Amino acid sequence: MITAIRTSYNQQFTPEKYQQFLAGIAQDAGISPAFRVAETPVFIPADLTGKLIQVCEEIVNVLLRPDFKTITRDAIPAALKVPRENDHPHFIVIDFAVCHAEDGSLVPQLIELQGFPTMYAFQEVMARQFKTHFDIPASLSNFFNGLDETTYYQLLRDVIVGDTAPEEVILLEVKPEEQKTRIDFHCTEKALGIKTVCLTALIQEGKQLFYLRDGVKTPIRKIYNRIIFDDLQRQADSLGEYVNLFQDLDVEWITHPNWFYRISKYIMPFIHSEYVPKSWFLHELPVIPTDLENYVLKPLFSFAGQGVLIDVTQADLDNIKDPENWILQHKVKYAPAIATPDGPAICELRMMYVWPDGAARPMLVHNLARISKGKMIGVGFNSQDTWVGGSCCFFEQP
């Protein structure tokens, strides 16, 4: 997106450098990614950086509303509510499409947001390997708010582990070695000294949880939660017996599972910004637009792009029996903003926040990018194209 830097990067790129970059990631993490990593980072110009920070802070202002828990009381499915919810999430991720404004400038448009941690450890590894194997200008940064590699990991350690013994903190997932994001689990273990544990390996005694660490029954004080609970429900029948996480357990959640639902596409109708597409709960839609082709229909309680209807028709609306569980959102048009050797690509950017206990506001810390040449974006939708996949951004300061 920064023309001079993009041109220079493309000219200096070689398949050999790319393979060395991938090998560097695998060596650093201990395993190779289970998804395609793009050949390039995304270079964000200062103007777009400023717009991204502006809209993110506008969204944060909504999260800080004193009535936020009231307006999101129906966001959590009744069967998925977990006790001991805290005052705010420890992690927030906000996804934007990169689009063109009417004047041709690049602007962000909100796609999705979640009170959930994804890829926080791995994204730093990827950015560092890009800097190691390619010529990334020192004037650009993958971090925000003055962080660097050392202080970034210290912040993660403070929030996830804190003053708890690392062996009493676990990263919890369902069948972690089968997850596409498992490389992040390995990076987290390496950076923080905590273990990844499958839900089926938990041991319950009263309200207390334990796991076997090197054969020793070890108490669990904190859970760095990576389970998406509707995914858990879909897999429940294949898991055998496991601890019921919806009971009152003597653990601290990082981030508490309820925030995954409170901070989600559910709150998009409450956010008003030039960089947030108009959205309505389907059952509150004042009038059905005559240009439905310019809208997308999203189920509130489905994730990773599942169930999204891109080409909406009146028949689609007529077939929905639970309109309170859907939102109609104005469609965004991705800009072919990334020049690659075999054609332009589109992208989404994820702005990643950390919210330490006691902090007045969450803090923007890092980022993630997804690059695509298809209709849908995401590592699960990539075709056999090159210069697509998971990536990261380097930002010019506004």
Same domain, 13 and 105: yes
Same domain, 360 and 380: yes
Q: What is the pLDDT of residue 282?
A: 94
Total count of domains within the chain: 2
Q: What is the pLDDT of residue 376?
A: 58
Same domain, 268 and 312: no
pLDDT tens per residue across all 398 residues of the chain: 899 999 999 999 999 999 999 999 999 999 999 999 999 999 999 999 999 999 999 999 999 999 999 999 999 988 899 999 999 999 999 999 999 999 999 999 999 999 999 999 999 999 999 999 999 999 999 999 999 999 999 999 999 999 999 999 999 999 999 999 999 999 999 999 999 999 999 999 999 999 999 999 999 999 999 999 878 888 888 999 999 999 999 999 999 999 999 999 899 999 999 999 999 999 999 999 999 999 999 988 776 556 888 889 999 999 999 999 999 999 999 999 999 999 999 999 999 999 999 999 999 999 999 999 986 565 455 557 899 999 999 999 98
Alpha-carbon distance 93 to 144, whole Å? 14
In a domain, 169, yes or no: no
SS3 225: strand
Is residue 331 exposed (0-12), middle (13-18) or buried (19+ Cβ within 10 Å)? Answer: middle
Same domain, 112 and 60: yes
Q: What is the pLDDT of residue 384?
A: 75
Same domain, 337 and 359: yes
Same domain, 150 and 291: no
Interior angle at CA 54, CA 377 and CA 367, nearest 5: 45
In a domain, 143, yes or no: yes
Same domain, 266 and 310: no
In a domain, 298, yes or no: yes
In a domain, 327, yes or no: yes
Same domain, 80 and 117: yes
In a domain, 193, yes or no: no
Same domain, 264 and 119: yes
In a domain, 100, yes or no: yes
Q: Nearest 5°: phi and psi at 389?
A: 125, -165
Interior angle at CA 263, CA 148 and CA 177, nearest 5: 65
In a domain, 65, yes or no: yes
Same domain, 95 and 21: yes
> What residues make up the domain containing 312?
279-331
Whether pTM exceeds 0.75: yes
In a domain, 356, yes or no: yes
Is residue 342 exposed (0-12), middle (13-18) or buried (19+ Cβ within 10 Å)? Answer: exposed
Same domain, 286 and 157: no
Alpha-carbon distance 230 to 223, whole Å? 18
Q: What is the pLDDT of residue 303?
A: 60
Same domain, 154 and 286: no
